[in-house]
Each structure stands twice: as structure tokens, then as C-alpha cells.
Amino acid sequence: MIAGRIIIIDSDERNNNLMKIILANRGYDVTISFNGKQGVDTFGINKFDIVYLAMNVRDMDPLYIIREFKKRDLDVVIIALIPVDNVHLIQEALSQGVYDYATKPPKPEEIYFTTKRAIIQRRYLLNNRFAIKSLDERNISLQKQNIMLAKRIGESTRNLTQLYDDLRETYMRTIKALAQAIDARDHYTHSHSENVTRYSDIIASEMNLDTQKREEITDACQLHDLGKIGVHDYILVKPGKLTPEEFEEVKLHALKGAQILEPLAFLEGVIRIVKQHHERYDGKGYPFGLKGEQIDLGARIMAVTDTYDAMTSARPYRTTPLSKKETIEEIKKGSGAQFDPEVVKVFLKVVDRF
Ligand SMILES: [Fe+2]
Ligand SMILES: [Fe+2]
């Protein structure tokens, strides 16, 4: 097995022969070039591990030769051959990327050890180069995998989001259908929830509420009387005055509606409004007796619109509805008591659009 491939570039024939004997004896494959040009040409054709370059070659600047070699093989190990009387060349050579130097005329032991060290350095450099190359390759493949993964995660997330939105949509449609069925159960309140929804959104839009809050309010309006599903039919359609017990049963619809919706966590804000839609600004409402700003703004708006629609529609206990004018007067009277005065102010501004 060859211990390493070496090229010697020196015009000194005696020196070359001596070096060749020393190195060939140690198992190295040695090529001789007598000048710089021949050395550069040979280096272009063959691969060498080590270059012994005499710093006193005459036909070419040795620094140019070093640069040419490094250009072709960045990991080649160059050893400068320096005449004993020209030591100032050592520093210049080392600064140009030369690995080591040996003095001329060659001493066998020095050449042997210098070459051995140079071969170890060469292997180290080649191994390093190989490791960097495979790391780079691995990095590129990891980057590709990352991009693929990110793409797949993006797709899955989009699919999941779509699925979730569809599910939400289906839930909402089902519940709204249920609420409409409850509305329709009693012809007196037919389209009551729809009216309350429309009126409330006119007020919410006039108050410049953001889209999310407006949606929350309209959803709550559509569902607000959902809890009436648990109120007996005979109470809902009773023409006369309700007994206190019957009234207590009606009052439960706010909490019952919220209970039905409770498992749907994404409806948190809607549930709050449904629960509070019979609270009064002065704290005399139900089910909790909340006061003023303790009541969600959506529920404060709905207090006005729910009453407005109830008064302007026929009811079992009042077959002739109040006129628009009379209803507005009633709501004005309730400002600051049953209703939030701010909401009443906006109501008065937009009621013509109802
Ligand atoms: Fe209600
Ligand atoms: Fe209602």
C-alpha cells in the first residue's frame, strides 16, 4: 500500500534524488518536477497528498505556485524546502498557507518525521472536508424535510380548521333551527327572535361595536328564548294573568337556555347574554339581579329590543299590540330603571329603521 503521493519541485537534481530515496524507502510514491511550470502542470493532472516545494525555484514565483496548488486542492499539504542560509523565506512561506518547512540539504530523519506529520495533517483535512460535506448534505436534506413537514402541518391545520368551522356551523344551524321551532310553537311569538335579532344589530352597529361582538349579540338574540322549550305549553299560550308559580316557571327559561348551550364552549359570550337577557339595569331583573355594567352590553341591548318586539306584537294576554309611539314612550319611561339609558338613547335614534 502506498503511504502517500508526494511531488517534489526543485531544480536541484542531487537534492531531488536524495529526497526520492529517503521517501521511496518509506513507501511513498514520489514524483519529481525540475521547475515550477512542470510542477504546476503535473499537479493539474495527478492528485498529490504532499508537495515539497523549493522556495528558490527560478522559473516561477513560489508564492504563485502555492496559490495555484491551493486553488486546485484546498487540502493539499505543502512543505517548503529552504536553503539553510535563507531562513527569512520561512516566515513568508508559512504566511502563504505552507504547512511546514524542511531545510536543504535534506536530513533523512527530519524528512521522515516532517512527511509523517504532513500525512497525518492531510488525512485530518480530508476527513474534515468529508465531514463538512456530509453535514452540508444532511442539512440540505433536513431543510427539505422541514419544508415538507411545515407544508403538511399547514395543510392538516387548514383541514382541521375547516372541519372545526364546519362543525361549529352545523351546531349553530341545528340550535337556531331548534330556537325557530320554539318561536313557531306559539304563533304569538312567531318571528319574535328574528325581529329581536334585527333590531339589536341595528343598535349594535350604531354603537360601532366590532364584528365579533355584533355576531355574538345576533347569535344570542336568535337563541335567547331557547329555554322556553322547558316551559309548559299551557303557560306560554295562557290568555289571562300568570299565577306566581307559573311566572316562576317562565323566569327559568333564561337559565335553561344557557344550560342547553353550555356544552358548546365556543359560545361562551353568547351563553352569557342568553343568561342575562332578563336582567334589569336597576338590578330588579332575573335570574341574578345584576346591575348596570355588570350586565353584558349585549343583554342590555336585548332588554330594549326584546321588550319593544313584545309590546308591538300580539300576545296571549294582550291581543291588540301597542302602537309604535306608545311603545317608544314606555321604553323612554324605563330608561335608567329597566333599561340602560345609553342604549335607550341609541334606540331612539334608530327606531325609525325598525
Ligand atoms: Fe326571554
Ligand atoms: Fe324574548
Peptide bond connecting 321 to the previous residue in cis, omega within 30 degrees of 0:
no
Mark which of 112, 132, 152 sits at the end of a domain. 132
Cα(331) to ligand 1 centroid in Å equals: 17
**CB count in 10 Å sphere of residue 198:** 16
Cα(28) to ligand 1 centroid in Å equals: 101
Cα(145) to ligand 1 centroid in Å equals: 57
Rounded to an integer, what distance in angstroms lies between the CA atom of residue 6 and that of residue 33? 11
Mark which of 113, 132, 151 sits at the end of a domain. 132
Domain containing residue 279: CATH number:
1.10.3210.10
Cβ-contact 305, 200 below 8 angstroms = yes
Same domain for 193 and 126, yes or no, is no
71 by Cβ neighbours in 10 Å (0-12 / 13-18 / 19+) ranks as exposed
Q: What one-character-per-residue DSSP string does 32-75 give?
A: EESSHHHHHHHHHHS--SEEEEETT-SSS-HHHHHHHHHHH-TT
What pLDDT, on the 0 to 100 scale, is given for residue 96? 82
State phi, psi for 30 to the nearest 5 degrees. Answer: -115, 135
Range from 53-67, 163-177, 182-196, 265-279 carrying the lowest mean pLDDT: 182-196
Rounded to an integer, what distance in angstroms lies between the CA atom of residue 119 and that of residue 76? 10
Look at residue 94 and tell me if it is in a domain.
Answer: yes
Q: Which regions of the chain does DSSP assign to beta strands (E)?
A: 5-9, 29-33, 50-54, 77-83, 100-104
Mark which of 132, 148, 163 sits at the end of a domain. 132
Residue 145: is its pLDDT beyond 90? Answer: yes
Longest dimension (CA), the chain: 133
Ligand nearest to the CA of 306: 2
Look at residue 196 and tell me if it is in a domain.
Answer: yes
Same domain for 268 and 127, yes or no, is no
Cα(269) to ligand 2 centroid in Å equals: 18
If we measure between CA atoms, which residue out of 290, 292, 303, 295 comes closest to residue 203? 303
Residue 189: is its pLDDT beyond 80? Answer: no
Ligand nearest to the CA of 253: 1
Give the confidence band of 188 by pLDDT, cuts at 50, 70, 90: low
Task: Read off the amino acid at residue 51.
Answer: V
More confident residue, 189 or 223: 223
Beta bridge partners of 31: 7
Look at residue 142 and tell me if it is in a domain.
Answer: no
More confident residue, 280 or 2: 280
Look at residue 106 and tell me if it is in a domain.
Answer: yes
Cα(9) to ligand 2 centroid in Å equals: 104
Same domain for 347 and 206, yes or no, is yes
Same domain for 229 and 335, yes or no, is yes
What pLDDT, on the 0 to 100 scale, is given for residue 266? 86
Rounded to an integer, what distance in angstroms lies between the CA atom of residue 261 and that of residue 254? 11
Rounded to an integer, what distance in angstroms lies between the CA atom of residue 115 and that of residue 112? 5
Same domain for 126 and 199, yes or no, is no
Look at residue 76 and tell me if it is in a domain.
Answer: yes
Cα(230) to ligand 2 centroid in Å equals: 14
What pLDDT, on the 0 to 100 scale, is given for residue 270? 96
Same domain for 105 and 226, yes or no, is no
Same domain for 99 and 238, yes or no, is no
In degrees, to the nearest 5, what angle opens at C-alpha 257 toward C-alphas 266 and 178?
A: 85
Give the confidence band of 204 by pLDDT, cuts at 50, 70, 90: very high
Ligand nearest to the CA of 231: 1
Give the confidence band of 237 by pLDDT, cuts at 50, 70, 90: confident
Same domain for 194 and 339, yes or no, is yes
Same domain for 281 and 195, yes or no, is yes
Helix or strand (DSSP H, E) at 251: helix 244-251
3-state secondary structure of 137: helix
Cα(247) to ligand 2 centroid in Å equals: 14
In the chain, how many domains are there?
Answer: 2
Cα(352) to ligand 1 centroid in Å equals: 24
What pLDDT, on the 0 to 100 scale, is given for residue 241? 87
pLDDT digits (tens, 9 = 90+) for 89-142: 788 888 888 999 998 889 999 999 999 999 999 999 999 999 999 999 999 999
Cα(189) to ligand 2 centroid in Å equals: 8
Same domain for 48 and 191, yes or no, is no
pLDDT digits (tens, 9 = 90+) for 309-346: 999 987 766 778 889 999 999 999 999 999 999 999 99
Rounded to an integer, what distance in angstroms lies between the CA atom of residue 10 and that of residue 53? 6
Look at residue 344 and tell me if it is in a domain.
Answer: yes
**CB count in 10 Å sphere of residue 310:** 18
Same domain for 105 and 192, yes or no, is no
Convert 154-190 to b/e letters by CB count within 10 Å (16 or more is b): eeeeeeeeeeeeeeeeeebeebbeebbebbebbebbe
Cα(116) to ligand 2 centroid in Å equals: 97
Domain extent, residue 40, equals 5-132
If we measure between CA atoms, which residue out of 57, 35, 61 comes closest to residue 104? 57
Cα(174) to ligand 2 centroid in Å equals: 19
Cα(170) to ligand 2 centroid in Å equals: 24
Q: Which long-range contacts (CB under 8 A, 24 or more apart) does 57-63 make?
A: 57/9, 57/10, 57/11, 58/11, 59/35, 60/35, 60/36, 61/36, 62/36, 62/93, 63/92, 63/96
Same domain for 197 and 306, yes or no, is yes
Cα(250) to ligand 1 centroid in Å equals: 8
Cα(333) to ligand 1 centroid in Å equals: 20
What pLDDT, on the 0 to 100 scale, is given for residue 186? 64
Rounded to an integer, what distance in angstroms lies between the CA atom of residue 209 and that of residue 350? 15
Give the confidence band of 164 by pLDDT, cuts at 50, 70, 90: confident
What pLDDT, on the 0 to 100 scale, is given for residue 255? 95
Is the pTM higher than 0.75? The answer reads no
Residue 212: is its pLDDT beyond 60? Answer: yes
Look at residue 137 and tell me if it is in a domain.
Answer: no
Cα(306) to ligand 2 centroid in Å equals: 5
In degrees, to the nearest 5, what angle opens at C-alpha 92 toward C-alphas 89 and 93?
A: 80
C-alpha cell, 275: 343568561
Ligand nearest to the CA of 195: 2
Look at residue 338 and tell me if it is in a domain.
Answer: yes
Domain containing residue 68: CATH number:
3.40.50.2300
If we measure between CA atoms, which residue out of 123, 124, 76, 69 comes closest to residue 100? 76
